[in-house]
Chains A and B, each alone.
Chain A
Amino acid sequence: MSSASTTTRDRVRDGLGQDADRPDGTPKVTGGFAFSSDLHARGMLWGRTLRSPHPSARIVSIDTSAAEAMAGVTTVVTAADVPGKATYGLEHADQPVFASEVVRYQGEPIAAVAAEHPELAVRALEAIEVEYEVLDPVTDPEHAMAAAAPIHPDGNVVRHLPLRHGDVEATGEVVVEGTYEVGMQDQAFMGPESGLAIPADDGGVELYMSTQWLHVDRDQVAACLALPPDQVRMTLAGVGGAFGAREDVSLQVHVCLLALRTGRPVKMLYSREESFFGHVHRHPARMWFRHHADRDGQLVKVEARLVLDGGAYASTSSAVIANAVCFAGGPYRVPNAQIHGYAVRTNNPPCGAMRGFGVVQACYGHESQMDKLADALGMDPVELRLKNALKPGDTLLTGQVITGTAPVREVIEAAVAHPLPPEPSDDDPALALPGGAGLTAERGDVRRGVGFGVSIKNLMFSEGFDDYSTAGVLLELDGHGQAIATVHCASAEVGQGFVTLAQQITRERLGVDQVMLRPADTAIGSAGSSSASRQTWMSGGAVELACDAVREALFERAVARRDLALDDADHPLFDLRDGHVVEAGGSASIPLVDLLAEGPIERIEVHRHAPTDPLDEDGQGNAHVSFAFAAHRAVVDVDPDLGLIRVVQIATGQDVGRALNPRAVVGQIEGGIAQGVGLAVMEEIVIEDGKVRNPSFTDYLIPTALDMPEVLATVIEQPEPGAPFGAKGVGEPPTISSTPAVAAAVRAATGLALPRVPIHPEDIALTPARDG
């Protein structure tokens, strides 16, 4: 890239490509970091939400008088008190701020209270009398699609997306078919939803909130409060993980409404239990696939019917089902396809964004099918995948031609090249066996299996969405006369490391050591969501543009000083090096601080990715920007008699474009694999008749250190054309194909079909082994 020739990469401390430390790393480890749950304002009240205990009911009456009469209870609000729009939503504003006539899922907000003490707020909730006429919930998506009376006026099918590609009548000599299910996974972030709203003198409100996308929150809050957007001023508060769960509005409208009603600061903080009802989850899926191939293993056609349960409200279901459909073929050349995707409304908890966003479900299906196909062909599963691996210039199921990098072969080969773990031995520590600390097995009870998974994931927003980010960079002299840069960007730091990257980019482009970050807020334009693996590309690109505009301004000052002609071709005559603007000839240089003595330089720039198109009625179109690929090889030990699993090792190759902070990339890979392993072997929100049975970390299990495998990672660096610094997003791919890899390994160890994840112990222990 051209930037490489004009930057000073070798000289910049903690520049791009280096393992720069996180600016928030030490405070997070030592406990000094302020998460949104730590927020406090003088004289603040505590807000709490009353939620429906029923997944489906008609509200006959709501009586808040007893609660309002309680000493120390400042206000109680219901739907009648919402001054603006009654509903909100990311894609369709179909979700009421408070339910007033019907409730459509267990946990739907009915009212909110503000009180002097959190405990008082709890008691006030108990004093609100709601009379319900309880209805039978519709919990099966197939039934919901066929239901005569829809759950919601917008209908029960949020989106039906058909995809027809090539010759839909084509058939292959070898055909394999399967039906697969994925359970409801939770993002399980550590920091529950929390925010602090402070009423402002101008009639507006300041909201400090842990979220993924400040501006989309602001716009929804402003609409519901009937305020102009500039009277809702949001600042990002410390985020304790997100993974998609903070993309939808949770308590934002409620807390602002309470603050405006009371004229006092109000804080809301969900308990862990409430958090399970307060955010969307990963869509459960039922998926049917039929794969056709020729005798040599070349894929001929993929047929699929994918049904995602979106729960009671739309959230991002339309985009999630699009991802599932577009990538139902996997990272393979598939000339013909016929796919139907449905995102369906039920009385189950609403589902929306989670790391991998629809591709996770599809990938579990298509990778299970690839193993089945390899089996039918008598072919090695890795060989089958390599034979069909996409490469640049190939066409996707959507008809889109891959114009960027597509190192599918490389990621597979890198995953497979890692050494396998040592053979099991009687000397292995007891804790390393399935069952771990429970000492349920000895080595002789355990069988080992190996499995593979490969994935493709679109980066950034698709289907014609106007996706952009804004960043400002201020370069000035500090109190000691040293150059200091300050970056301003609304990109939500949710743990992914954008704060580190923004500093690295700025150091690199401006050659200054000191880079400060302003809080992310709505005083600057939108940065878009911290989702879809997009912030490195989008906001990293915006920071780069802003830095380059500052450089430009510096060069102009240098030109003015030296009375030189400005060269229009990107100032090849100048460079920034060692705190100096240097002439290309090398003879003359001007200290940066001298140029900054003329005054600070600030530039704000907007960065857009290349435009995309909507999908047509056949699901065809250039709907996506760029693609990232990953391959995973999982090694598991299984205790078949008890059905317990220990994932021993995951080896991976991942397409990252360029690793801008290798340590942070590996961090994303390890964390993503933890969530992929979790979905494979334990993580599931258990729902019965629309009710969540395990809303706690006692019963919603996520992997512990003892469940986390050794991870061997190779990053494949092929700079992506059009991407800032050539870097692809890296957050989602590790989660996607690690799940089918683990499932395949468990199948290999047990000989069972295991058509559903997570695999529960009884699925193994109580299922008779397959014949042969």
Chain B
Amino acid sequence: MPIDRPTDLDAALASLSDVPSAHLLAGGTDAMVEITFDQRRPEHIVALRRIPELRGYRVDDDELTFGAMLTYTQVERELASTAPGLAMAARTVGSPQIRNTGTIGGNLGTASPAGDTLPWLLALDARVELRSVRGSRELSLADFVTGPKRTAREPDELITAVRVPRVEGPQHVAKLGPRNAMVISVAMAAVIVDTTNRRVRAAFGSVGPRPIRASDAEQQVSDAIDWDALTCPDDAIVHFADACAEASQPISDHRSTADYRRHAVAVLAARSLRRCLAA
């Protein structure tokens, strides 16, 4: 099995253009498990760790850009004040060893319903930058993730970065699992009280085939919030929680039940919003 180890972006895109069936290797936290379990037998691998263009992040006045090879550890350590919700999400991923190697681009590329960074990115209307030798394009995260572990990425395309608007206001990310660390989420919530745009943003993971945005719930609670005092009537929070649960599409599997997941969405939504408003 050939392994290309390009050292710049153009070389990576050329490799991918030559062998569009190649499997992309970022941190390997998904790929190596799949290969070990014999669920995936790549015929060709393009390894991305040596490409400097993918590794950084950029903080602009109105936008944050995260390189695809940004690791969870970097997010946790370097972006805790700039992107607090993303840092909270990154902190919940696996063990320190996994966080040292796992990347945001990998989380996007795998597009698991339980991807830990996806709810926060979705809540912020993230845009995924894809490049190939044919050029580059941007897709909204909602359009990028087309199903469980399915994306709109063309075989010769590389995820190069993901962008979110920079917004003011408190945010909270909560991940629910039956163990206190190192667990795949049973439900995940990202709530952002976006004071810049005076709207609540809320998205959920592990409760549907794709990360779910609770748009109706957002709209209703945004109207109920006193944006000057940053307060919200209790019944509106309860209503928001119920509407989020309503928006979820959970299933029962060996990790949990649909009923519990739906219940958890409501609890996490209400608690996350209350934490933001109390912050």
Alpha-carbon gap, A438 to B91, bound state (A): 8
Counting CB contacts under 8 A, is A703 at the interface?
yes
CB distance A761 to B178 under 8 Å? yes
What's the least CB distance linking B174 to chain A, in Å?
5
Q: Which residues of B contact A431 (CB under 8 A)?
A: 180-181
Q: Which residues of A contact B182 (CB under 8 A)?
A: 704
Q: Which residues of B contact A435 (CB under 8 A)?
A: 174, 176, 180
Q: Which residues of A contact B257 (CB under 8 A)?
A: 762
Query: A701-B179, A761-B256 are contacts. A439–B264 as well, Cβ < 8 Å?
Result: no
CB distance B184 to A698 under 8 Å? yes
Which of A434, A440, A681 gathers the greatest number of chain B CB atoms within 10 Å? Answer: A440
Binds A, one of B11-19, B130-138, B216-224, B267-275: B267-275
> Given A273-B37, A762-B260, A766-B260, 16 other A-B contacts at CB below 8 A?
A435-B176, A439-B173, A440-B176, A686-B254, A698-B184, A699-B184, A699-B255, A705-B181, A707-B180, A707-B181, A761-B256, A761-B264, A762-B256, A762-B259, A765-B260, A766-B259
Task: Give 7 nearest A-B pairs by CB, closest first.
Answer: A436-B180, A693-B254, A438-B175, A762-B260, A706-B180, A706-B181, A437-B181
Alpha-carbon gap, A694 to B256, bound state (A): 12
Interface residues of A in 655-695 (CB under 8 A from B): 681-682, 686, 688, 693-694
Closest to B188 in A: A438
Closest to A696 in B: B37
Closest to A432 in B: B180
Interface residues of B in 241-276 (CB under 8 A from A): 254-257, 259-260, 263-264, 267-268, 271, 275
Counting CB contacts under 8 A, is A375 at the interface?
no
Select B271's contact among A436, A441, A703, beta carbons within 8 Å: A441
Query: A122-B38, A703-B179, A704-B182 are contacts. A438–B174 as well, Cβ < 8 Å?
Result: yes
Q: Which residues of A contact B263 (CB under 8 A)?
A: 765-766
Alpha-carbon gap, A762 to B275, bound state (A): 24
Query: A699-B184, A704-B182, A706-B181 are contacts. A437–B175 as well, Cβ < 8 Å?
Result: yes
Q: Which residues of A contact B268 (CB under 8 A)?
A: 440, 642
Give the number of chain A interface residues (Cβ < 8 Å). Answer: 38
CB distance B275 to A765 under 8 Å? no
CB distance A440 to B178 under 8 Å? no
Q: Is the interface of A mostly helix, strand, loop or mixed?
A: loop
CB distance B176 to A642 under 8 Å? yes
Closest to B255 in A: A699
What's the least CB distance linking B118 to chain A, in Å?
15
Counting CB contacts under 8 A, is B197 at the interface?
no
Counting CB contacts under 8 A, is B73 at the interface?
no
What's the least CB distance linking A692 to chain B, in Å?
9
Counting CB contacts under 8 A, is A641 at the interface?
yes
Counting CB contacts under 8 A, is B69 at the interface?
no
What's the least CB distance linking B75 to chain A, in Å?
14
Counting CB contacts under 8 A, is B177 at the interface?
yes
CB distance A646 to B180 under 8 Å? yes
Alpha-carbon gap, A761 to B180, bound state (A): 12
Counting CB contacts under 8 A, is A582 at the interface?
no
Query: A438-B176, A439-B88, A706-B180 are contacts. A765–B264 as well, Cβ < 8 Å?
Result: yes
Alpha-carbon gap, A643 to B112, bound state (A): 25
Q: Which residues of A contact B255 (CB under 8 A)?
A: 699
Closest to B253 in A: A693
Interface residues of B in 144-203 (CB under 8 A from A): 172-186
What's the least CB distance linking A683 to chain B, in Å?
10
Alpha-carbon gap, A135 to B268, bound state (A): 44
What's the least CB distance linking A700 to chain B, in Å?
10
Counting CB contacts under 8 A, is A445 at the interface?
yes
Give the number of chain B interface residues (Cβ < 8 Å). Answer: 34
CB distance B178 to A760 under 8 Å? yes
Counting CB contacts under 8 A, is B36 at the interface?
yes
Counting CB contacts under 8 A, is B92 at the interface?
yes
Query: A442-B275, A642-B267 are contacts. A434–B180 as well, Cβ < 8 Å?
Result: yes
Closest to B184 in A: A698
Counting CB contacts under 8 A, is A26 at the interface?
no
Counting CB contacts under 8 A, is A97 at the interface?
no
Closest to A437 in B: B181
Residue-wise interface mask of B (110-144) relative to A, using a CB-CB cutoff of 8 A (1 in contact, 0 not): 00000000000000000000000000000000000
What's the least CB distance linking A55 to chain B, in Å?
16
What's the least CB distance linking B128 to chain A, in Å?
25
What's the least CB distance linking B276 to chain A, in Å?
12
Residue-wise interface mask of B (6-45) relative to A, using a CB-CB cutoff of 8 A (1 in contact, 0 not): 0000000000000000000000000001001110000000
What's the least CB distance linking A754 to chain B, in Å?
15
Counting CB contacts under 8 A, is A514 at the interface?
no
Which of A435, A438, A698, A707 gathers the greatest number of chain B CB atoms within 10 Å? Answer: A438
Alpha-carbon gap, A273 to B92, bound state (A): 24
CB distance A436 to B181 under 8 Å? yes
Q: Which residues of A contact B183 (CB under 8 A)?
A: 438, 701
Select A761's contact among B172, B260, B275, beta carbons within 8 Å: B260
Closest to A639 in B: B267
CB distance B184 to A642 under 8 Å? no
Closest to A643 in B: B260
CB distance B254 to A682 under 8 Å? no
Closest to B172 in A: A439
Residue-wise interface mask of A (630-667) relative to B, using a CB-CB cutoff of 8 A (1 in contact, 0 not): 00000000000111101000000000000000000000
What's the least CB distance linking B159 to chain A, in Å?
24
Q: Which residues of B contact A445 (CB under 8 A)?
A: 271
Select A694's contact among B88, B91, B254, beta carbons within 8 Å: B254
CB distance A440 to B256 under 8 Å? no
Closest to A764 in B: B260
What's the least CB distance linking B71 to chain A, in Å?
17
Q: Which residues of A contact B185 (CB under 8 A)?
A: 438
Q: Which residues of A contact B264 (CB under 8 A)?
A: 642, 761, 765
Q: Which residues of B contact A688 (CB under 8 A)?
A: 254
Q: Which residues of B contact A441 (CB under 8 A)?
A: 271
CB distance B186 to A761 under 8 Å? yes
Counting CB contacts under 8 A, is A3 at the interface?
no
Q: Which residues of B contact A122 (CB under 8 A)?
A: 38
Closest to A445 in B: B271
Counting CB contacts under 8 A, is A271 at the interface?
yes
Q: Which residues of A contact B91 (CB under 8 A)?
A: 437
Alpha-carbon gap, A765 to B186, bound state (A): 14
CB distance B179 to A704 under 8 Å? yes
Interface residues of A in 114-150 (CB under 8 A from B): 122
Q: Which residues of A contact B186 (CB under 8 A)?
A: 761
Closest to B189 in A: A440
Q: Which residues of B contact A705 (CB under 8 A)?
A: 181
Q: Which residues of B contact A701 (CB under 8 A)?
A: 178-179, 183
Q: Which residues of A contact B176 (CB under 8 A)?
A: 435, 438, 440, 642, 644, 761
Select B180's contact among A437, A686, A693, A766, beta carbons within 8 Å: A437
CB distance A440 to B175 under 8 Å? yes
Q: Which residues of A contact B173 (CB under 8 A)?
A: 439
Q: Which residues of B contact A644 (CB under 8 A)?
A: 176, 178, 180
What's the least CB distance linking B278 to chain A, in Å?
9
Q: Which residues of B contact A642 (CB under 8 A)?
A: 176, 264, 267-268
Closest to A698 in B: B184
Q: Which residues of A contact B177 (CB under 8 A)?
A: 438
What are 18 A-B pairs at a CB distance below 8 A? A431-B180, A431-B181, A438-B174, A439-B174, A441-B271, A445-B271, A642-B176, A642-B264, A642-B268, A682-B179, A698-B33, A698-B184, A706-B179, A707-B180, A760-B178, A761-B178, A762-B260, A766-B263
Interface residues of A in 698-739 (CB under 8 A from B): 698-699, 701, 703-707
